[in-house]
Structure 1
Amino acid sequence: MQGGSDGDGVRHAAESLRALRDELPTAAEHVDGTVRKRIEAVTGAVEQAAKGVGAELRGELLSRAHEIRLIGTEMAAAREDAFAAVSHVLSGYADEIEALLRPTDGGGPPAIAVPPALTPPPGVMTTAEETAAVQQDLPDDDAHQDAIAAVVASCPVDYRLLVGELLSDRSAHAVERHGHHLTSAQMIARLQWLLDPAGIDGWRLNADGSVESWRKHKHGTHQVGAASGHYTSPQAVAKPLVALLRAAGGTRAGLDALLDAEADGETIAKVFLRVTDTGVTAQDVHTQRAPGTDTKDGKKMWQRARRGAMAGMGDAPDVRAYDMVSGGKRPGSLIVFAKRPDGPWRLLTSYFADDPQRVEYLEP
C-alpha cells in the first residue's frame, strides 16, 4: 500500500495510536493521585483511631495503616506495569501499521505482529535484620581507596592526576556511594532502609524493630529518593568524568571555567551528560528502583511506606532491578560540584540518574 487517501488514513491511524500512548503519563498521574487520596483518607482515619488507646491496640492499628499504605504502593506498581505494556503495544502497532505503506514484493501486505512486552523483574523485599547484616560487610576505607585507584588507572594518562584529585577530595563520595566495588544488596539496603554504603551517615537497628538513619553533617536521614544505583566497572565510573574533562580541555583551569559558566554565580554546579556524551551502556550501570514511582503521587506513597517500615510498622515496600539506560525517560550521568569563595570547584558526587529535571540533589 502506498500513497493516496489510503496512505493518509494509515498514517492517521498510526499517529492516533502514538497520540494515545503520549497521553498515558497524564493518565498515570491522575490514577495514582486518586489512589493516594483514598489511601491517605483510610489510613488517616485508622491513625486517628489509634490516638488515646492502649499501647498494644495502638501498635496494631498503626500496623494496619502501614499495610494499607503498602497496598497503595502495590497498586501504583501494577498500574505502571500495565501502562508500560499498553505503551509497548500502542507503539508496536503504530510501527506495524506504518510498515503497510512500504512497498511489498507483490505477496500482499505483511501481517501485523507485535511482540509481547517484557515481563517486569520480580520485586524484592528485605528486612531490617538483613540490612543490619549488610551493614557489617560494607567496604572499609581501604576498599574505597582501592576502588578510586582503579578508576584513575582506567582513565587516559593525561587525565589521571586531575581525576585522582577530584575523587580523593574529602568532600567527594562519588566512588564511595556509586562505585563499581559496591553490590546489589547494598543498593537495596540503601533504597529500602536508608543504609549509606559509604558508611558516612549513621544507621542503627533498634531492639523494637525500628530503624534509625541520620546524616553525619546535617539534620535528617541519609538521603536517597526512589532509586539507588552504582557503576559496574572502573571504566564505567570514569566515562562521565573523562567526557566532562575532555569538554573542559583536560585541565583544572578549563574545568573551573566551565563550571563557573554552568553555575552562573551559584556555589553548586550540576552537570548532566547524556549517554551519547559518555558512552555509558546498560552494562555499565546497576540500578534498584521502587516500582510505581514514575508519578509524583506514586513516589510519595512509596516513600511514606518506607518511613513506616523504618518506624517498625511492618514490611518495606518492594524494589526491583531496573535498566535505567534503556527504560529511563531521559537517562544520563549527573556530576555535582561545590565551590567555596575564592576556591576551586570540588567534586561532590557522580552517579547515573533519570530525568534530572525531576531529580533533586539529595546528598550532602
Structure 2
Amino acid sequence: MDFDLSEEQSILKDSLDRLLADKYGFEERKRHMASSDGWSPEMWARYAEMGLMALPFTEEDGGLAGTPVETMIVMESFGRALALEPYFPTVVLGGGFLRIGGNDDQRAEFIPQVAEGALKLAFAHTERNSRYDLNHVETTATKDGGGYVLNGAKSVVLHGDSADKLFVTARTAGGTRDENGVAVFMVDVAADGVSRRGYPTQDGQRAAQVAFDNVKVDSADLFGNAEDGLALVREVVDIGIAALCAEAIGVMSGMHELTVEYLKVRKQFGVPIGQFQALQHKAVDMFVATEQARSMALYAAMMADSDDLDERARAMHAAKAEIGRGGRVVGENAIQLHGGVGMTMEYAVGHYFKRMTMLDVAFGDADHHLRALAAEGGLSAA
C-alpha cells in the first residue's frame, strides 16, 4: 500500500505549514489566546482563502471533495502549531453532520456558508452524567405541532461560545441510556431559551456550558432520523476521532522536536545533556511512540469513511487507545527532560503537554477505548 502523499496533498501540506510557521509562532499564539475571542479571526479568514473550510465537502455541494487523508494533513499541521481556531468543531464535526445527515436543502443552505468561513458550528452532546457514553442523553425534545421543544443542558461544548449554530443531541423517546430515541437538531444560538457561558479550557482552547429552556425548533432543523439519530452521531464522532488522532501526531512531533533541541543546548557539568546516554534513550522512546502513533493515525484516517460499521469502530478504538498511550509517553518524557522550565506558561512544551492531555480525553481516553476494543474482540474480530 502506498502511503506517500500525492502532489496535491504535498502542496496542501507545504502551503499550510508555511502559513503557520510565518503567522502562528508561539508568541503569536499566546496573543490569540489572550484575545476576547480566544483565537484569531484573521487566521480563520486565511484558512477559508486556502480552501480548508471547503475541503471535506463534495464538489456538488460547493466543496473540494477532500478525503480523510486531507483532513489528517490539516489537523496534523494544526497540532504542531497548537492552532486555536474552531476548525475541528466547525468543519470536521459540524461539517460531518451536514455531509452525512443533511438533506439537499440543508446542505445547499449551510455548506457554502461553512466553506466561506461565514458560519461556525459546534457539537453539543456531553452532559453532566454522560462521561464518554454517546447514548446517555437526558436533554429532551418534545413534539410540539410541526416542531419540537428542547429542554436540558450540555457541558464542555468545544468552541460553543463562538458558534453560530449548535448540533444538539436530544431524546425524543425512551430512557436516558437507550440506544434508540436520540435525535440531532441544528439550533441557532440566538433562539429564545438558549443560554451560553463560555470559558477557557486548560489547553488554551475555548468551551461553553449551554442550556436549553423551552427552545422551539422546526422539523426542518432535524438532521437524520428522529428515532435513530445515534447512528449518525457515531459516524460523525468516528470521523472526529480520526481527525483528533492526526492532530495528536502534530502535538507529539512538536514535543519531540522541542525536547531534542533542548537536549542539544542545555548544558550540565560543562557538556550538553544530550550527550548523556540515559537521556538519549528517553528521546528515542519519544520518537518510537510518535511513529507508532502515526501508523495508527494513518489507519484511522483510512477507516474513517468505511461502510463497515463494526470494523470502523474497532479501528477508532485501537487508534485512540494507542494515541493516548503514546501521547502520555511523549508528554511525560518531554516535561521530565525539560525540567522546571517545561512546567511554565512561557515555554511551549507545557502547552503541548496540556493539549495532548485534552486530546486523550476527547471522546474517550485510552483506557475507555481499550476496554471497548476488548469487548469487540480485539482489532481483528474473531
**TM score, norm. by length of structure 2:** 0.26
**TM score, norm. by length of structure 1:** 0.27
Largest Rg, 1 or 2: 1
RCO comparison, higher one (Cα < 8 Å, 6+): 1
